[in-house]
């Protein structure tokens, strides 16, 4: 390095960076990042809390009384993108900013199939923080009613409540998601081995499937089947029956 002035500047910079790491001069910068992240989490939790509370208040307006408190919301990226823990009354959901790359890829692929009408993050928001979130609140309501069932029927019941809710509250969104689920069923092979019953196969493998293509197929085909049920339940009926089909 021939120019002494440039050499001095670089050496001073190296010295400063080294000192910064030693004395923690970068701590305010790290704290700033953490503060922004915390603020984003707070905003998301407030948004989800508003949807949760609106859902519960509507149930109360039907003259039904929940036996459980509103579920606590936790952003911890469950592998199924949503999970209600009935033992702790906690609803686990996801945050795009901390979602693992492999999980993000799921939404990137699905968004591509929508002909670029929506980004991966946008599709994540509407599918996880709308569709799946309400699905998990359906599990919460069934817990309020002390309803028990095998995994297949339990999931289908939550989907029944979910479909009824969105068909009333946002029909356009419901039809969009229904088209996505129909597309998944049409273009994805069934994970059920030949000769086995699909409900029993899910029941036998329930702990293994969430987060994978097989579980996505299962949720999709359940929703497609629910959409064809006649009579199609209103949200009030779905709540009254705790997701059981109308007779």
8 A C-beta contact, residue 134 and residue 159: no
Residue 98 has pLDDT above 70, yes or no: yes
Check residue 27 and give its pLDDT. 38
Give 37's pLDDT tier (boundaries 50, 70, 90).
low
Check residue 109 and give its pLDDT. 87
Give 209's pLDDT tier (boundaries 50, 70, 90).
confident
Count CA atoms within 13 Å of residue 78 on its CB side.
Answer: 20
Q: Rounded to whole angstroms, how far apart are CA atoms 156 and 214?
A: 15
Check residue 208 and give its pLDDT. 80
Check residue 26 and give its pLDDT. 40
Check residue 117 and give its pLDDT. 77
Mean of the pLDDT values across residues 89-116?
90
8 A C-beta contact, residue 238 and residue 160: yes
Higher pLDDT, 157 or 207: 157
Check residue 202 and give its pLDDT. 92
Question: Where do the structural domains in the chain lie, given as residue ranges?
Answer: 100-240
Q: Rounded to whole angstroms, how far apart are CA atoms 100 and 104?
A: 6
Residue 168 has pLDDT above 70, yes or no: yes
Residue 19 has pLDDT above 50, yes or no: no
Mean of the pLDDT values across residues 88-110?
94
Mean of the pLDDT values across residues 28-33?
37
Residue 97 has pLDDT above 90, yes or no: yes
Q: Which residue in 138, 35, 42, 129 sits closest to 86, CA to CA?
A: 138
Check residue 39 and give its pLDDT. 65
Check residue 247 and give its pLDDT. 61
Check residue 236 and give its pLDDT. 97
Residue 103 has pLDDT above 50, yes or no: yes
CA distances from 244 to 66, 101, 160, 231, 236 (A): 17, 37, 8, 12, 12
Check residue 38 and give its pLDDT. 62
The torsion region of residue 84 among left (phi > 0), alpha (psi -120 to 50) and beta comes to beta
Q: Rounded to whole angstroms, how far apart are CA atoms 184 and 243?
A: 23
pTM listed for this prediction: 0.83
Give 110's pLDDT tier (boundaries 50, 70, 90).
confident
Give 203's pLDDT tier (boundaries 50, 70, 90).
very high
Cβ neighbors of 139 (< 8 A, separation 6 or more) are 84, 86, 154, 158
Check residue 221 and give its pLDDT. 96
Check residue 31 and give its pLDDT. 36
Q: Rounded to whole angstroms, how far apart are CA atoms 119 and 108?
A: 7
Mean pLDDT, the chain, rounded, equals 85
């Amino acid at each position: 390095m021939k120019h002494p002035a440039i050499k001095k500047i670089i050496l001073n910079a190296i010295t400063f960076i080294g000192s910064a790491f030693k004395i923690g001069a970068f701590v305010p910068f790290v704290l700033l990042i953490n503060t922004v992240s915390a603020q984003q989490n707070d905003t998301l939790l407030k948004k989800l809390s508003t949807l949760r509370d609106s859902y519960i208040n509507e149930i109360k307006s039907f003259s039904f009384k929940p036996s459980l408190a509103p579920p606590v919301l936790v952003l911890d990226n469950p592998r199924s993108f949503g999970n209600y823990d009935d033992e702790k009354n906690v609803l686990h959901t996801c945050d795009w900013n901390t979602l693992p790359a492999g999980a993000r890829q799921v939404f990137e692929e699905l968004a591509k199939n929508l002909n670029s009408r929506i980004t991966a993050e946008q599709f994540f928001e509407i599918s996880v923080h709308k569709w799946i979130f309400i699905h998990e609140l359906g599990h919460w309501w069934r817990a309020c009613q002390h309803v028990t069932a095998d995994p297949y029927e339990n999931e289908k019941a939550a989907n029944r409540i979910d479909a009824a809710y969105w068909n009333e509250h946002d029909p356009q969104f419901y039809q969009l998601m229904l088209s996505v689920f129909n597309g998944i069923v049409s273009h994805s092979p069934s994970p059920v081995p030949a000769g086995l019953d699909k409900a029993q196969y899910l029941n036998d493998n329930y702990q293994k499937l969430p987060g994978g293509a097989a579980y996505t197929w299962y949720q999709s085909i359940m929703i497609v089947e629910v959409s064809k049920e006649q009579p199609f339940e209103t949200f009030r009926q779905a709540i009254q029956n705790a997701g059981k089909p109308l007779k």
